[in-house]
Amino acid sequence: MILLQPDIIIVAIGTNDIFTRLSTDPDSTPETYQVTIAKIFNKLQLKLPDTPVFTIGMTTSLRKYAHIRFGNFLPQQDIVEAVFNDYNNILRKLTEEYKFSYVDIPSQWPINVEESWKFCADGIHPNNEGYDLITEILYDALTSIVLYPEQKMKQ
């Protein structure tokens, strides 16, 4: 990603870190996630100091439906939600510390499992409606922070 010399970077990572955590892998903890994300951010800040970076918060997986395709590896829904909240808070906090922009998808995503399912393809990945919603929220963030000022200058 650094070699590409991007003008904008969007980082959306952590769902699989959460899954390994939920699978009780002792090496995968919120602390290791925090340290790793900080290393990524350090590198981006060092190598691409003028490039705006956006991070995308993760949407909670749905145990009730994920097991149909992925097997019954997720614990109870309230535990899943709590772990997603922990990791999203880490991502948000670090994003703010590094003066990047956190795109708060989770706060605009339905909390209710059945409502959330309308935006989900398989309990983990979004469907068309889910991707539409993510894109809409992300585009609003991009527009207000990096796209709109440029558009304004051209007018």
- To other proteins, the closest distance from the beta carbon of 89 in angstroms equals 15
User: Is 29 among the residues that bind other proteins (CB under 8 A)?
Assistant: no
The pattern of x and - marking residues 53 through 92 that bind other proteins according to CB under 8 A reads ---x--------x--xx-----------------------
In the bound state with other proteins, the residue whose beta carbon lies nearer, of 92 and 125, is 125
Coil/strand/helix, residue 70:
helix
In the bound state with other proteins, the residue whose beta carbon lies nearer, of 127 and 144, is 127
* Residues belonging to the chain: 155
Coil/strand/helix, residue 47:
helix
- Residue whose token pair is 């070699």: 3
Q: Which of 128, 152, 153, 155 binds other proteins (CB under 8 A)?
A: 128
In angstroms, what is the C-alpha Rg of the chain?
17
Q: Which of 29, 97, 114, 139 binds other proteins (CB under 8 A)?
A: 139
CB 25 within 8 A of CB 73: no
- Residue whose token pair is 């995968």: 28
> In a 10 Å sphere around its CB, with 0-12 CB exposed, 13-18 middle and 19+ buried, how is residue 104 labelled?
middle
Q: What are phi and psi of 54, to 5 degrees?
A: -115, 140
User: Is 1 among the residues that bind other proteins (CB under 8 A)?
Assistant: yes
Token readout for 10 is 């969007």
- To other proteins, the closest distance from the beta carbon of 101 in angstroms equals 13
Binding site for other proteins (CB under 8 A): 1-17, 20, 33, 36-37, 39-40, 43-44, 47, 56, 65, 68-69, 117-118, 120-128, 130-132, 134-135, 138-139, 142, 147, 151
